[in-house]
Structure 1
Amino acid sequence: MRSEERSVLQSDLFLAAIMLGTGLFSGGSEAVRAVPVVGLTTAAFIAVSVYLAEHDVVPGVYPEVATVAAFLVTVGVGVGFVLTLPASAAVVGAAALSGGGAGVAVYRLVFGVFLPVPAYRLAKDEDPEATVETERDH
């Protein structure tokens, strides 16, 4: 594993640990047990969102646009869960946060340990300040 891939793996797994920890701390394991469909659905949607961004799945559309669209769908599904499930919004939110962390962790383990980190992510991770400055100049 190259050092660039290791850096991406470490930063994403750290983010996933924060999400999982926060979700479990705020809602406890009750959130995951009470509404497992929320955690599993959120994990799947988050993993798909990251996949869309890193693999340029929709030709002719910037990966960030596809990611934002997938994220908005994820938020819409989350709001639907809050409105339809008998659990409180806090429990559903905690389950969604935990699921999001799990989705990031599983995705990054697949595309970081078992398969290489996509080139798009490596390029974005090399020098984020240069990317921001370049985008600002246009």
Structure 2
Amino acid sequence: MSEEEERCICQICQCGNHKCAHVENNWPTTTGIGESTTEYGAQYPGKEAVRTRAIHPAETTLNSGEFHGETTNKADFYEKQFERNRSFKPIVSTIQSGEFNGDTTHKSDFNLKQVRLVLGEVVNSLQNIFVSI
């Protein structure tokens, strides 16, 4: 059995996160799995494009110019002049004078017809209904 000498974690692991005092800071380490180059990245290089800038409207000062207090709404719709109607009592109608008998033209034009019922026929029809049930 051969004795292994003790090694530091920065010598065992190559992830690049372990910093030891005995190692120089500019010592090259790998970036880990894949080393940032893949087959896809080699075959299809990224495209470069210039980023567009946002369009900001020009600044306006709110107090620039005079304000006359007239808007398009006020200019189009002016105040209309009117007079208020005077209140009054309604005139008492003469139609309501007289006696009400409850007859209408419809009732007077069409007379009530008399219906003749025979008691025996009604009883027979009711018996037929109950027998069929």
TM > 0.5 fold call: no
Tell which structure's C-alpha radius of gyration is larger. 2
Q: TM-score range by the shorter chain?
A: under 0.3
Q: TM-score, normalised by structure 2?
A: 0.22
Q: TM-score, normalised by structure 1?
A: 0.21
- The structure richer in helix per residue is 1
